[in-house]
Amino acid sequence: MRSIMFKNGVLYALDSSRLPHREVWLKLRNANQVASAIREMRIRGAPLIGVAAAYGLALEALKYRGKDANRLREIVLKTSEYLKSVRPTGRNLSWAIDRCLKAIEKEGAVDGIKKRLLEEAEKIANEDVETNLKIAKNGLEIIMDGDKILTHCNTGGLGTVEYGTALGIIRVAWEKGRRIFVIATETRPLLQGARLTAWELKKYGIPFKLICDSMAGYVMSMGMVNKVLVGADRILSTGHVANKIGTLTLAILAKHYGIPFYVAAPFSTFDFTTKPQEIPIEERSPEEVTHFAGRLVTVKDVEVINPAFDITPPELISGIITEKGVIRPPYSENIPKFINKS
Amino acid sequence: MRSIMFKNGVLYALDSSRLPHREVWLKLRNANQVASAIREMRIRGAPLIGVAAAYGLALEALKYRGKDANRLREIVLKTSEYLKSVRPTGRNLSWAIDRCLKAIEKEGAVDGIKKRLLEEAEKIANEDVETNLKIAKNGLEIIMDGDKILTHCNTGGLGTVEYGTALGIIRVAWEKGRRIFVIATETRPLLQGARLTAWELKKYGIPFKLICDSMAGYVMSMGMVNKVLVGADRILSTGHVANKIGTLTLAILAKHYGIPFYVAAPFSTFDFTTKPQEIPIEERSPEEVTHFAGRLVTVKDVEVINPAFDITPPELISGIITEKGVIRPPYSENIPKFINKS
């Protein structure tokens, strides 16, 4: 089942923020609605955000009733900038938008632009599924029978169009008969691990236990984990990985205990120009930390630090699993070798 | 203001589980009620649990209406065993109970036993305040002007009779004019950091920010922390420290970034006989993780790991701040030197 679908001029997206209690499908009809859904993390996961943004651009173009291709192009460009700004850290969002813009570069007619944008969005969505299956297949190389895998946040079918990245590997490894056990971190503040990863793992019948994020050191110290596998929101050519807040903590713990730490992501997550210190780290609303289900859980007016991401340096990463294979360190040397690989 | 007080045959204790929204005072009249309050973490913090248990023993003795000293002694012993079993990891609980039992060793009369038990509980409570002030004074040695201190869980006046251990140092340092800044972890699953430490820090006017536990790596990587200061539930003669789950994770992160990691605790937290692998780690109810403010936040029937504590090995600890001074590594050598120090 896909988590996003375009049908009769409407974009249907499963509302992640309502899971696991309710399966609500959002009906999105323009770029603004798509942007809001992304901002509110109803649509989340770097690859899925990219796909949704591409559809958002198409929706906005489809709304245009005029005949002026230049005017439509202006609308598309303005919408592109707006969509890109919604969540700055993840790479796939701007990657998908840029790809759509490129697709219409040589289109002169209004209908052609509309058609091309929708086609490109569909293509990005379909490719996401194929890419994830390739990542999963390549990931089998590092998943052994008996593995006890710790994963963070949600990197499954709910954060992509289908299958997922890190969780896609886990799912396919399980389906291929690898007897694995998963430890899922709850992933504060928005509990994507407790809400989404637990929901997926249960659905697939994969044995797992849920922990609070702070327990990662404990489970590693007790020998309950022999591999860490996470996704990524942006990967630099140096091998620096921006991912859900808490990833860096897990990588340091894994290093301390000599546990291999793997990242799984498609090449659409790679950013070959930005430097580590230039990655924009999105700071989200304090209420995500101070409130739960609308209830204040601390004192009033408390100041909060709420970065949505952190950056894990390459020296803590054992390998990056992509659709083109598993990239090993040194990353500055090996990532370029994979770029043009088929 | 003390968080526990005995008055007219009733033990009054501030209900930590209701803070910060409501200040509810429990009225406890027997050992069973004290045990329940400890089990439900309405009374928490290793030193405070010790004091409450001592009072619980006295309450139970005071209830006895007979004249048979041997019978009363039996009741006291049975109650002692029961109270000790309520929370197995913390040291102060059994330390306080044993001290009370020792106090009545030579008492032959019912009234004498009752009187001695209550006196001993009062003494333990008063000593806790004095001890904490000494810890705070000794802690000033390691707190510098401009320090950015990360602390975990609640180690303040709410987890002791008054002042606290790690947070007591922070409070006194602030009162002495040290310009410090605190980062408080929310401390899942029960949010003692968000609920209690934030409440105390705000009351004392100490500047601070709240973070989710998983953000510790991020704040350290950004240079926002130059010292970590936590409490302890049990300290072995080897320097191993059992403390609130998540402490080990913080210690490993601090080591990675070269940030000094300090533990503050009274000698009543020390255990000179148990070996590291023998420390009983209390596993608490899965609902603490699966539910947030009474609401299920994950899928139904999910399995959970919920240890209340973890064990930080001595090589990660820069110093242990006690009422007798700051103990430095090597602990196996230096802890014994401090035992008989006045």
Tell me the angle at which helices B46-63 and B92-103 cross, rounded to the nearest 10 degrees.
40
Q: Is the pLDDT of residue B149 over 90?
A: yes
Predicted confidence at residue B294, as pLDDT, reads 83
Instruction: Please state the rounded mean pLDDT for residues B23-27.
Output: 98
How many CA atoms does the CB half-sphere of B181 hold within 13 Å? 10
* Amino acid (1-letter code) at residue A134: K
**Contact between chains at B249 and A248 (C-beta distance less than 8 A):** no
Predicted confidence at residue A341, as pLDDT, reads 87
Predicted confidence at residue A334, as pLDDT, reads 97
Collect all residues with Cβ–Cβ distance below 8 Å to B329 and sequence separation of at least 6. B239, B314, B315, B317, B318, B319
Residues 164-223 of A with CB under 8 A from B: 183, 185-189, 191, 194-195, 198-199, 202, 208-219, 221
Q: Is the pLDDT of residue B223 over 90?
A: yes
Q: What percent of chain A has pLDDT over 90?
A: 97
Predicted confidence at residue A32, as pLDDT, reads 98
Instruction: Please state the rounded mean pLDDT for residues A56-77.
Output: 98
Query: What does the alpha-carbon distance between residue A231 and residue A197 come to, in Å, rounded to a whole number?
Result: 12
Q: Of B254, B89, B241, B230, nearest to B168 (Cα)?
A: B230
Distances in Å between the Cα of A266 and the Cα atoms of A124, A269, A272, B17 are 12, 6, 14, 45
Please provide the CATH number assigned to the domain covering B143-339: 3.40.50.10470
Instruction: Please state the rounded mean pLDDT for residues B71-96.
Output: 97
Instruction: Please state the rounded mean pLDDT for residues B230-249.
Output: 98
Predicted confidence at residue A340, as pLDDT, reads 85
Predicted confidence at residue A116, as pLDDT, reads 98
Predicted confidence at residue A342, as pLDDT, reads 76
Q: Which residue, chain included where needed, has tokens 């003669």?
A: B237
Query: What does the alpha-carbon distance between residue B76 and residue B65 come to, in Å, rounded to a whole number?
Result: 13
Q: Left if phi > 0, otherwise alpha if psi is -120 to 50, otherwise beta: which for B163?
A: left
Query: What does the alpha-carbon distance between residue B188 and residue B335 come to, in Å, rounded to a whole number?
Result: 31
Predicted confidence at residue A266, as pLDDT, reads 98
pLDDT tier for residue B293 given thresholds of 50, 70 and 90: confident
Q: Is the pLDDT of residue B51 over 80?
A: yes
Instruction: Please state the rounded mean pLDDT for residues A243-257.
Output: 98
Q: Which of helix, strand or coil describes residue B224?
A: coil
- The verdict on whether omega for the bond into residue B329 sits within 30 degrees of 0, i.e. cis, is no
SS (H, E, C) A53-88: HHHHHHHHHHHCCCCCHHHHHHHHHHHHHHHHHHCC
Predicted confidence at residue B68, as pLDDT, reads 97
Collect all residues with Cβ–Cβ distance below 8 Å to A333 and sequence separation of at least 6. none
Q: Is the pLDDT of residue B245 over 80?
A: yes
**pTM above 0.90?**
yes
**Paired tokens of A90:** 């993840």
Q: Of B298, B292, B229, nearest to B260 (Cα)?
A: B229
Spell out the domain ranges in chain B: 4-134, 143-339
pLDDT tier for residue B165 given thresholds of 50, 70 and 90: very high
Q: Is the pLDDT of residue B164 over 80?
A: yes
Chain A residues close to B250, C-beta within 8 Å: 217
Please give the positions of A annotated as active site: 233
Instruction: Please state the rounded mean pLDDT for residues B95-120.
Output: 97
Residues 248-267 of A with CB under 8 A from B: 248-253, 255-256
Give one DSSP letter per residue of B278-339, joined into a string. G----B--THHHHEETTEE-S-TT--B--BSEEEE-GGG-SEEEETTEEE-S-HHHHHHHHH
pLDDT tier for residue A156 given thresholds of 50, 70 and 90: very high
Chain B residues close to A294, C-beta within 8 Å: none
Mutant choice from B209, B298, B311 vs A, greatest count of A C-beta within 10 A:
B298
Query: Which DSSP state fits A261?
Result: E
**Paired tokens of B72:** 């009363």
Query: Which DSSP state fits A228?
Result: E
**Residue contacts between A and B (CB atoms, under 8 Å):** 187
Query: What does the alpha-carbon distance between residue A133 and residue B55 come to, in Å, rounded to a whole number?
Result: 63
Q: Of A220, A245, A242, A259, nearest to A305 (Cα)?
A: A245
Please provide the CATH number assigned to the domain covering A4-134: 1.20.120.420
Give B104 or B292, the one with higher predicted confidence: B104
**Contact between chains at B186 and A224 (C-beta distance less than 8 A):** no
Predicted confidence at residue B340, as pLDDT, reads 85
Instruction: Please state the rounded mean pLDDT for residues B213-241.
Output: 98
Query: What does the alpha-carbon distance between residue B30 and residue B337 come to, in Å, rounded to a whole number?
Result: 39
Query: What does the alpha-carbon distance between residue A199 and residue A232 come to, in Å, rounded to a whole number?
Result: 20
**Contact between chains at B289 and A209 (C-beta distance less than 8 A):** no
State chain A's mean pLDDT as an integer: 97
**Contact between chains at A219 and B305 (C-beta distance less than 8 A):** yes
**Contact between chains at B310 and A217 (C-beta distance less than 8 A):** yes
Nearest to A217 among B224, B252, B296 (CB): B252
Question: Exactly one of B233, B271, B301, B310 is catalytic; which is it?
Answer: B233
Give B339 or A165, the one with higher predicted confidence: A165
pLDDT digits (tens, 9 = 90+) for A9-45: 999 999 999 999 999 999 999 999 999 999 999 999 9
Predicted confidence at residue B257, as pLDDT, reads 98
ipTM score for this prediction? 0.97
**Paired tokens of B9:** 């045959």
Predicted confidence at residue B342, as pLDDT, reads 77
